[in-house]
Amino acid sequence: MNDYLILGAGVTGLSAGIHTERQIYDVNSFPGGICASYYMNLCGKKSYFRNDEESYRFEFGGGHWIFGADNLILDFINNLSPVKTYQRKSAVYFPDLDLYVPYPIQNHLFYLPKNIREKALKENLKSENKSVSTLADWLLVNFGKTLCELFFFPFHELYTAGLYTKIAPQDKFKTPANKDLILKGEKEKSPAVGYNATFVYPRNGLDDLIRKMSERCNVNFNKRVTRINLEKREVYFVDGSCIEYEKIISTIPLNKIIKMADINNIEDAQPYTSVLVLNIGAKKGKSCPDYHWIYLPKSKAGFHRVGFYSNVDNSFLPESSKRDNNRVSIYVEKAFIAGKKPNDEEMKQLCAEVVKELKEWDFVAEVDVIDPTWIDVAYTWQYYDSTWKEEAMKILRENDIYQTGRYGKWKFQGIAESIKDGLKIKEEING
């Protein structure tokens, strides 16, 4: 019997594997989970290593830039794969106006038309002490009707697939509310703030970090868990194999492991959104922005964010394009409610619609490659006053299953915090 084992070979599972030297079991044939990278050459051939210099680098879950790393985690990453540091360049884009407003929009009101910014400033400086129960309530109280109707409501409609009027306020650090900076930003450029104002990325790509981590672990690939028998302490896999355990470190999404363990005596699982990530390599359009990513309150195809891998680092481009910078590597994100994945025909149509829109904006010219990837559990949410997460994790811990990482804990966090979770889980288990 294994004293304990690890489920999931994303960054948290790999970190736990390095620290504990225990066996890892993962559903995929490659490590990294949604943080895994891959390459596509100009003919559309995909590989997990750059074996063709004329290839784009993409990531399965879109751009994964590393923010919020403390010295311990930064040293851990640097010792495996040295990083470069970047200052965030992001904005809100209004296609109808062809207008870019630096992120966060509430701190850059002077970019907006005078009548809008004056109304928005007045509403933002108003002090309100209202109780709120939904994300929509929180946005309205903190940023006012004008900015909510202009940006926050339509963006969150896309980003949460319509859930923002039902879910509790969460991840507030993504949208900082500082009245002094709002006032300053009505007159002049405001300083960069927020959780990812500065971020790092491995010099040789995220795939280099993941590969170095994986090489230090014992990973069993293509091992999809189908069921966990809590009484017998057994994990069953789709290939028919079974292993016994004493304890489990799990990075599997909390809603999924509850079903695997056949736990039914708690309230219904909380909502989540799935995300379709369209990775695109193309000739650069004349109006392609130099931002790292942009947020959208409106798009014909319903996507809420466009990220530009190659604006962060040109290592995402084919070798022949790096000098002239005449190509662009892009990821486009569109949210769906809880696993409502488009069928093949719908996916094909959506790809065409996205490319058409990017061409209308002159972000891209001729497209070399486009590749859709599906993240089933992408963003996790909770309803107001729900205790589901706490109850589920408590029951699992009572059965010696320790949930950790972004999806294991049902909590938004980045790579740095996820690595930290993996490195400290052994101490948590041992008390």
pLDDT tens track for 360-407: 999 999 999 999 999 999 999 999 989 999 999 999 999 999 999 999
Longest dimension (CA), the chain: 69
Mean pLDDT computed over every residue of the chain:
94
Amino acid letter for position 54? E
User: Same domain for 362 and 322?
Assistant: yes
Q: Is the pLDDT of residue 284 over 80?
A: yes
**Close Cβ partners of 131 (under 8 Å, ≥ 6 residues apart):** none
Q: Which residue range(s) make up the domain with 125?
A: 105-185
Angle of helix 11-20 relative to helix 206-215, nearest 10 degrees?
A: 30
Tell me the per-residue pLDDT of 401-411, one tens digit each, with 9 for 90 and over: 999 999 999 99
Q: Report pTM.
A: 0.95
Tell me the per-residue pLDDT of 237-260, one tens digit each, with 9 for 90 and over: 999 999 999 999 999 999 999 999
Number of H-type helices and E-type strands within the chain: 14, 19
Residue for token digits 């769906």? Answer: 336
Q: How far apart are the first and last CA of the chain?
A: 21
Cβ neighbour number for residue 108 with a 10 Å cutoff: 23
Q: Is the pLDDT of residue 111 over 90?
A: yes
Q: What is the pLDDT of residue 124?
A: 85
Q: What is the pLDDT of residue 160?
A: 97
User: Same domain for 347 and 400?
Assistant: no
Query: What CA–CA distance (Å, rounded) separates 250 from 201?
Result: 26
Query: What CA–CA distance (Å, rounded) separates 230 from 259?
Result: 12
CATH number reported for the structural domain that contains residue 15 in this entry:
3.50.50.60
Tell me the per-residue pLDDT of 329-361, one tens digit each, with 9 for 90 and over: 999 999 999 989 999 999 999 999 999 999 999
Tell me the per-residue pLDDT of 188-225, one tens digit each, with 9 for 90 and over: 888 888 888 899 999 999 999 999 999 999 999 999 99
Q: What is the pLDDT of residue 49?
A: 85
**Nearest Cα to Cα of residue 377 among 347, 414, 403, 407:** 407
Q: How many domains does the chain have?
A: 3
CATH number reported for the structural domain that contains residue 282 in this entry:
3.90.660
User: Same domain for 327 and 353?
Assistant: yes
Q: Is the pLDDT of residue 171 over 80?
A: no
User: Same domain for 283 and 226?
Assistant: no
- For residue 204, tell me if it sits in a domain: no
Let me know the angle formed at the C-alpha of 122 by 121 and 126, rounded to the nearest 5 degrees. 115
The dihedral of CA 248, 252, 257, 258: what is its sign? positive
| Structure confidence at residue 180 as a pLDDT band (50, 70, 90) | confident
b/e code 239-274 from CB counts within 10 Å (16+ = b): eeeebebebbbbbbbbbbbbebbebeeeeebbbbbb
Q: Is the pLDDT of residue 429 over 70?
A: yes
Query: What CA–CA distance (Å, rounded) separates 7 from 260?
Result: 12
Q: What is the pLDDT of residue 269?
A: 77
User: Same domain for 167 and 122?
Assistant: yes
Q: What is the pLDDT of residue 193?
A: 84
Query: What CA–CA distance (Å, rounded) separates 133 from 383?
Result: 9
The residue with greater pLDDT, 264 or 365, is 365
User: Same domain for 313 and 238?
Assistant: no
Q: Is the pLDDT of residue 129 over 80?
A: no
DSSP state of 193: -
Amino acid letter for position 323? R
Q: How much is the average pLDDT of 294-315?
A: 97
Q: Which two tokens stand for residue 228?
A: 């966990």
